[in-house]
Amino acid sequence: MIKGSLCQIPRRLQALRAHESLSLPRKFPLVVGYLILSILGDPLMERVNLKRVSEQSNIRNSTIFSHGFIFISENTYQRFRELVENLLVKFFEINGRNFADEAAKYEFVKIGCFGCGCAWGAVTPSFFQ
């Protein structure tokens, strides 16, 4: 089902460029979204390596942060974070805003493991009851 929908994307993008009526699939993979932006010449995609986005997306999908069950190394996390932050910086720049100013408005929840004293200890067993 998805495969058929994805096969139709190039034709639908041609319709968009021709300013015709367009209806993309309601859902498609993250990487396909970046591919569409790239094909359309979106400034967000300038200097973005789609292969790297795809690789990082696959890693993300296998982790506990998304669809999977594995933990990742600090190095793997830093590479993913760098990719995301670069995209966010560019996005805010295009929209006349500053990423650091926007990021300063938010505080991430600290989570950790039980009993060892690390940040994971902030989530207590009673949290899960």
User: Is residue 82 situated within a structural domain?
Assistant: no
pLDDT the model gives residue 124: 42
Residue 104 pLDDT exceeds 60: yes
Strand partners, 63: 70
pLDDT the model gives residue 110: 65
Question: 109 or 60: whose pLDDT is higher?
Answer: 60
State how far the Cα of 115 lies from the Cα of 75, in Å rounded to an integer: 25
User: Is residue 8 situated within a structural domain?
Assistant: yes
Q: Show the domain range for 18.
A: 1-41
Q: Where are the alpha helices (DSSP H) in the chain?
A: 2-7, 9-17, 30-39, 50-61, 74-94, 99-103
User: Is residue 25 situated within a structural domain?
Assistant: yes
User: Is residue 3 situated within a structural domain?
Assistant: yes
pLDDT tens per residue across span 68-77:
788 888 888 8
State how far the Cα of 32 lies from the Cα of 101, in Å rounded to an integer: 30
User: Is residue 13 situated within a structural domain?
Assistant: yes
User: Is residue 105 situated within a structural domain?
Assistant: no
Total domains present in the chain: 1
pLDDT the model gives residue 63: 84
pLDDT the model gives residue 125: 42
- Percent of the chain past pLDDT 70, that is, above it, reads 64
User: Is residue 52 situated within a structural domain?
Assistant: no
Average pLDDT taken over every residue of the chain: 76
